[in-house]
Amino acid sequence: MNHKVVVITGANSGLGLETAKYFSGLGHQVILAVRNIEKGRKAKEEIVQLYPEANAQVYQLDLSKLQSVREFVETLSSQVDTIDILINNAGVMMPPYFKTEDGFELQFASNHLGHFALTGLLLPLLEKGEASRIVTLSSIAYRNAVIQFDNMHGSHGYKSYTFYGQSKVANLMFAKELDKRLKANHCRTISLATHPGISSTNLFTLGRKKTPWFVKPLLKIVSQPAEKGALPVIMAATDESLLGGELIGPDGAGGRKGNPTIEVPKKVTYTDSTMAELWDISEDLTKVTYDF
């Protein structure tokens, strides 16, 4: 890989930080797009300690707020000419019910709608890259999830895990539909999805300040460290044999941990009609239309 510009959302910890370390170690320019600037700066310090010549830059981005997404894109667009890799990594997992200032359920807003808007607004910069990629993180929670089109924002009942699953299957459907539309419009950019299996990250705080005591022993048994969980992300972002539209996850039992490989979702996971419906709703809610 030649010199690249890599944008990673939620790069201050967990999978995002491990991915940022990887690309920084290769000498690429890495944009740490983070909600909390102070945590972002600490992450940058950690990267620079490993790689003193690292070109890592911290930008503020709150994906739960569409105005923040637009401000981030405006700022970044004034400072870089192209983007080669966009990694839609940031996520919220199973918080108490909360509606954002835009009126959306928090997980759907942060995990899907924010990334949908961000990707669409950055697409012109991505198209300037020679072999650019968009990698969107899903989760094994996608497997039993559906999009509740009649209750997308939890107004008629809310269960945190159900709505987490909804946001994660939305990530997968978005990545797949995006790649289909990119190819149909003869774009140079490709889109892929990935999931880390069960990785020990700060997502497992379950909406609390710290990971609950009863979760920690379970994580030791079923999970893998963040640096291993980041491998499917890195494969999706760099493997030249991938054509776009693939889902990359761990190869171990149940896809919970292991080495990265292509995972084929069950046919019932999504259909062309549900992906198109989600796309249309996402455009309507975010007011972001893709300029293919």
Distance (Å, rounded) from C-alpha 198 to C-alpha 203?
10
pLDDT tens digits along 96-134? 999 999 999 999 999 999 999 999 999 999 999 889 999
pLDDT band at 202 (very low <50, low <70, confident <90, very high): low
Q: What is the pLDDT of residue 214?
A: 45
Distance (Å, rounded) from C-alpha 216 to C-alpha 281?
38
Window from 41-55, 75-89, 191-205 with minimum mean pLDDT = 191-205
3-state secondary structure of 155: coil
Q: What is the pLDDT of residue 224?
A: 65
Q: What is the pLDDT of residue 204?
A: 44
Mean pLDDT of all residues in 240-255: 89
pLDDT band at 213 (very low <50, low <70, confident <90, very high): very low
Percent of the chain with pLDDT over 70: 90
Beta carbons within 8 Å of 113's beta carbon, 6+ residues apart: 66, 104, 282, 285, 286
CATH topology of domain 5-286: Rossmann fold (3.40.50)
Q: What is the pLDDT of residue 3?
A: 87
User: Which of these is catalytic: 158, 161, 270, 290?
Assistant: 158
Distance (Å, rounded) from C-alpha 162 to C-alpha 103?
19
Please tell me the total number of residues recorded for the chain in this structure: 292
Distance (Å, rounded) from C-alpha 106 to C-alpha 143?
21
pLDDT at 215 exceeding the cut of 90: no
Q: What is the mean pLDDT of the chain?
A: 91
Residue 89: closest CA among 19, 16, 161, 162: 16
pLDDT tens digits along 35-75? 999 999 999 999 999 999 999 999 999 999 999 999 999 99
Answer yes or no: 161 catalytic: no
Residue 287: closest CA among 113, 94, 133: 113
Window from 1-10, 146-155, 166-175 with minimum mean pLDDT = 1-10
